[in-house]
Chains A and B, each alone.
Chain A
Amino acid sequence: MKSLFLLALRNIFRNRRRTLLTFFSMIAGVAAIIVFGGFVEYTFWGLRESTIKTQLGHIQIYAKGYTEKGVAQPNNYLLQHSDEIVRELHDKKGVQAVTRRLSTSGLISTGEKTISCKVIGVEPEKETELSSFETIIDGMQLDSSNASKGGVIGAELMKALGAKVGDTVTILTTTGDGMLNAVEFQIIGVGQTGSQDYDSVFVKLPLKRVQELLGTTAVEKVVVLLSETDNLNQFVPILNSEISKNSWNVEFKTWSELAFFYHKVVQVYKGIFRVVNIIIGIVILLGVTNTMSMAIFERVREIGTLRALGTTQSGILKLFLMEGLLMGIIGASLGVIVGIAIATTINLSGGIPIPPPPGMSRGYLAFIVTPLPLLAFSFGFMVLVTLLSSIYPAYRASRFKIVDALGHV
């Protein structure tokens, strides 16, 4: 085995220029997979975190039946004793913030223009934490100091209204009893979440004012924000045990169950990533097969000699497969190093500016992440492709007729 390894290793480097060229294509392939894969991973991460930290939180807890019937009869499925839930959950391990929300739809008006909107009642003192991915492009974010003054509205909605920070607007909606009610407030900030659809409807007001508007003391949901998204799987059992321990009549959903847009984007990107991998795989497959075939063609007589000395057909097969495997391992390792180097260079130079994706109101700076699974995948993929490429040439070499091979010039 050791001698097979040595022989294969030396054979790889006997035609240096050709081997280097093959390595270049393998390195380019692996690096491309890593950089593109790292970009995709970053995009997934960015979209996931921005979805969580602008709208959804990690977990939303509702009154039982809300997710099924709450859309039609929101007032019948409100959480009455949300204080207790907040109190019990806020100091649990991995929890960053627990906050309550109450939303309703209504009409927002400047006096001249009236547009439909989604009013969200939030707890101002926790808003900075929960909406850390929301950008305030004008004015300020809702917090405990300014809660009495007014609310924040979405950038697109602001544009449509033709209003500016400091303007007073009126919101008209119906209470739980079906009565019309209105509230007047001052626009203190303009927010951008990245999602164009959301930015063109949302109005954030302090929870108290929305409760007054709807004539209730209940809330629609309790939103839990964890310090790390990865902690979610550990938190769900804790939540379940709290629910049964306290006999809360509630149900909950995780961000993933609510993030339809995120899942669609992930699907599309994963599809693209797969296609890119297949193309790279085919290019490498053809390149390595070509290199190996050329190497074998040049070594026909040598193969005949090895056979004459007593090497079996399977011995020849193993030799060339070993060459393929070694080439794969060396090429893929170099590729991983180069991939990480390119990713680091891009990250250090400040990322790649990406224009707003479809449905998004702003572009973003993309960085390249290089998580271990991605590196392992690109390495394994390249080794496998190279090994596959060497099967046919190796098989051909093992089947040469010895006499013909020895007589080959």
Chain B
Amino acid sequence: MIIFNKVTKDYLLGKTIVPALKGVSFEILGGEFVSICGPSGSGKSTILNMMGALDNPTGGDVILLGTNLARLSDSEQATLRNQKIGFIFQSFNLIPVLNVFENIEYPLILQGISAPARKLKVMELTEQVGLTRFYTHRPDELSGGQRQRVAIARALVTQPQLVLADEPTANLDSKTGTDILDLMKEMNTRFKTTFVFSTHDPQVMGYANRVIRIHDGQLVDAEDVV
């Protein structure tokens, strides 16, 4: 599914080059529920960004579904993100002017799917995340947990092969966070979608069937939890 091969990433901070990743290699298989964890600044988000074709590595290769991401053009990367990857963000990142239905629908519009087909899929996902009652609400009328449910529905509506979640529970209370993780796990089991999420919360790590630990831009170890 995903192969990281000696991936490095440097950021330019003023005139200093700051290495964020120092040659990271690992592989994630299809259908896995993987947690990437480490303290803040360790490079978790950088790894997720590169997996999601949001950023290109300075060195090494990121291979997603057999494709070396760095070799894709900007619009090819956009298409790949739209069709193969779902994103869940720490602060939900819903589009404020769109209601629940429209937010979930947006990736399908980009795919050029017809309105009736879109409606069917969106309603199905809205039901699965338990928000049928709220589908005409705007994001600012929802609680944090509800917003993250919308984000999960949006990430899954295109039936992607990979869902990336950057600290998905960090902005939620622990009860809501647990609900969200349960929901993600359920989706993982039901659709066989690969989930990769970053966290520094040990409780959240417990949900993963594999944990990739990262520290100072380097892999510490990879372990199977289950």
Give the B-binding residues of A (Cβ under 8 A): 3, 7, 10-11, 14, 301-302, 304-315, 401-403, 406
Whether B54 and A308, one on each chain, are in contact in the complex, defined by CB atoms closer than 8 angstroms, is: yes
Other A-B contacts than A307-B78, A310-B82, 11 sampled, CB-CB below 8 A, are A7-B95, A14-B96, A302-B95, A304-B93, A309-B82, A309-B106, A309-B107, A312-B74, A312-B75, A313-B74, A313-B78
Whether A309 and B110, one on each chain, are in contact in the complex, defined by CB atoms closer than 8 angstroms, is: yes
Give the size range of B's interface with the partner.
Answer: 20 to 34
- Tell me which of A7, A309, A315 has the highest count of chain B C-beta atoms within 10 A of its own C-beta: A309
Neighbouring B residues of A315 by C-beta, 8 Å: 78, 110
Contact with A along B122-163 (1 / 0, CB 8 A): 000000000000000000000000000000001000000000
Neighbouring A residues of B111 by C-beta, 8 Å: 310
Which residues 74-114 of B have a CB within 8 angstroms of A? 74-75, 78-79, 81-83, 87, 89, 93-98, 106-107, 109-111
* A309 closest partner in B (C-beta): B107
Quote the shortest CB–CB distance from B202 to chain A (angstroms): 25
* B110 closest partner in A (C-beta): A310
Quote the shortest CB–CB distance from B45 to chain A (angstroms): 8
Interface of B is mostly: helix
Whether B49 and A403, one on each chain, are in contact in the complex, defined by CB atoms closer than 8 angstroms, is: yes
How far is B74's CA from A313's CA once the two chains are assembled, in angstroms?
Answer: 8
Can you offer 13 A-B residue contacts whose CB atoms are under 8 A? Answer: A3-B109, A7-B97, A11-B97, A302-B93, A302-B95, A305-B94, A305-B95, A308-B52, A309-B82, A310-B110, A311-B82, A401-B55, A403-B54
Contact of B87 among A7, A302, A309, A314 (CB under 8 A): A309
Quote the shortest CB–CB distance from A403 to chain B (angstroms): 5
* A316 closest partner in B (C-beta): B78
What is the total of A-B residue contacts with beta carbons within 8 Å?
Answer: 64
Whether A308 and B87, one on each chain, are in contact in the complex, defined by CB atoms closer than 8 angstroms, is: yes
Neighbouring A residues of B95 by C-beta, 8 Å: 7, 302, 305-306
Whether B81 and A10, one on each chain, are in contact in the complex, defined by CB atoms closer than 8 angstroms, is: no
Known contacts A313-B74, A403-B55: does B97 contact A14 (CB below 8 Å)? yes
Neighbouring A residues of B97 by C-beta, 8 Å: 7, 10-11, 14
Whether A312 and B78, one on each chain, are in contact in the complex, defined by CB atoms closer than 8 angstroms, is: yes
- Tell me which of A310, A403, A406 has the highest count of chain B C-beta atoms within 10 A of its own C-beta: A310
Which residues 143-196 of B have a CB within 8 angstroms of A? 154
Neighbouring B residues of A313 by C-beta, 8 Å: 74-75, 78
Neighbouring A residues of B55 by C-beta, 8 Å: 401-403
Which residues 39-90 of B have a CB within 8 angstroms of A? 49, 52, 54-55, 74-75, 78-79, 81-83, 87, 89
